[in-house]
A and B are shown apart, each in its own frame.
Chain A
């Protein structure tokens, strides 16, 4: 924590960056919140601990934040993966943001270039955790009707506040498909069809892109397990197409590439 504050102060004082995007204490003990330190004093409020899980990379797409000038970004692993995907998707130029990773030992690693981020991530564990896998298997094992019932109940709570979309670093479209009304792709109401279509399209638009930062599920005020939809597609995409979004700047989006011998058993 001290290390982070010192680093932030140094960067701001040296003028290397105009803002350090990090975390500070939130309303209660369970919560940390995003914090934008723009001068040396403010760096005192920076914290970094287990509470700090929001993917701050999302803010790099926000005009007001862009306007602050070059940023140093305190990155959890999900945020680092986001930077890689931003590079793939042409949303961020190299060296325009300084990534700060905090090691378990508490020391701060500066990652000024995509190459450095890629290298740093190479050492990290990949793919879904055993817990995530088990959760998928649990639902997969349910009989069709129960699976449908489970999701009907989950999605019935969706109020279409689009917190999932706003929190997702990769939902950066200036106009989301839900805002297209010619044709009206997704029913506006948070009715059963609207909620189903929204959650399907959200998951599909992230298939092969999702860096599994978990922000969507964390953001959902209704606690809907939308992350499962991302996970099931991530598992499929990696199993079928070897998709590993977020670990390199190589442009190999699973859905805009193909192999003539991609395997499937369902096409007659």
Chain B
């Protein structure tokens, strides 16, 4: 709960102009056809109004689906390698919903827990998040079950809540947030106790992630539970690639005449090949085992090892799923399963 200010919607344009002048790139939700995606904008009018979630999560701003790590050239008998430093442009992520904002905590935890990831960490450093509270949700949302909420401030540097048609309640939460304010102080007028709760979406909790964590290890051996849940899963990577906290990647070389590039690309635990050994053995040969792994990783292993949930309840996985695997629903049923 940071210091509160009022920001007129009408003055967003001026704020954007100032930020861009200050060398910032602004990524915000933009409508294209029937989807909303983060895109580079210049003015507020380019920003999508009425939507629940962007199809692709905000993580792509710091963790793109592929990235070149180094270039190599075979010269005669030896190899030249030039490491590529990622371009980390100063970026303002605007209109990030609290769930997405919260996902950055997970990303940071994963990419910095032992040593700082050379590609993600610099981008995280240079990214400022202006969150936007949710005024509506849908049947896929379950942020309130995983410790978040439509007005949750975690992860945001500034959280905006549209308390009425003309203004935002701005909560300035971090130094990065204060830096934004400093860029155009006059636009952030003092607040006098306006409340955001009335306008926030109502998302009923379906389960309690923290309680579930311990229970899961007990459920591990209940193979039929996992089988039943995953029968309709067809084993694609849609959920992982839509997910704001999935961080698995694969490192690949692409050859060109006497050289090539080494790159990392998103990978997904739903794929049969994900854990296939060179020997031909696959420790997770069945889809049900892969589904279990996905749940365990997000709700048990990661909280245990990195002290952060691997899920923010945005529901993207379920919206993206071709077979309507509803994560909230599945987690609820796990919570209700007796050990």
Binding site for B on A (CB under 8 A): 26-28, 31-36, 54, 58-59, 62-65, 159-163, 165-167, 179, 184, 187-191, 215, 218-219, 221-223
Contact = CB atoms under 8 A, between A and B. Distances in A.
Contacts of B242: 221
Contacts of B268: 161
A190 B265 contact: yes
B214 interface: no
Contacts of B33: 223
B235 interface: yes
Contact of B231 (A64, A179, A190, A191): A64
Interface in B258-277: 263, 265-266, 268, 271, 273
25 contacts: A27-B326, A28-B138, A35-B232, A36-B231, A54-B322, A58-B234, A59-B231, A62-B234, A62-B287, A64-B287, A159-B65, A160-B237, A160-B241, A161-B237, A161-B238, A161-B240, A161-B320, A162-B236, A163-B236, A188-B250, A188-B252, A190-B266, A219-B234, A221-B55, A221-B320
A251 B268 CA distance: 36
Given A27-B140, A33-B323, A166 B234 contact: yes
Contacts of A160: 65, 237, 241, 265-266
B273 A179 contact: yes
Determine which residue in A28, A166, A223 has the highest number of CB atoms from chain B within 10 A of its CB, and name it: A166
A34 B323 contact: yes
B268 to A, nearest CB: 7
A218 B236 CA distance: 13
A163 B268 CA distance: 12
B78 interface: no
Which 4 pairs from chain A and chain B are nearest by CB?
A219-B322, A189-B66, A166-B236, A221-B320
Given A33-B324, A184-B252, A223-B34, 6 more contacts: A27-B324, A34-B231, A64-B231, A161-B238, A218-B322, A221-B319
A159 B266 contact: yes
Given A188-B250, A189-B265, A166 B235 contact: yes
Interface of B: 33-35, 55-56, 65-66, 138-140, 227, 230-232, 234-238, 240-242, 250, 252, 254-255, 263, 265-266, 268, 271, 273, 286-288, 318-320, 322-324, 326, 329
A160 B271 CA distance: 11
A68 to B, nearest CB: 8
Given A35-B232, A161-B238, A167 B322 contact: yes
B232 A34 contact: yes
B263 A189 contact: yes
Determine which residue in B35, B238, B318, B319 has the highest number of CB atoms from chain A within 10 A of its CB, and name it: B238
A105 to B, nearest CB: 28
B65 A190 contact: yes
A139 B82 CA distance: 42
B323 to A, nearest CB: 6
A165 B265 contact: no
A173 to B, nearest CB: 11
A159 B66 CA distance: 9
Contacts of A166: 234-236, 322
A64 B286 contact: yes
Contacts of B329: 27
A54 B33 CA distance: 23
A161 B241 contact: yes
A28 B287 contact: no
A189 B254 contact: yes
Contacts of A35: 232
B318 A27 contact: yes
A163 B286 contact: no
A187 B238 contact: no
A59 B230 CA distance: 12
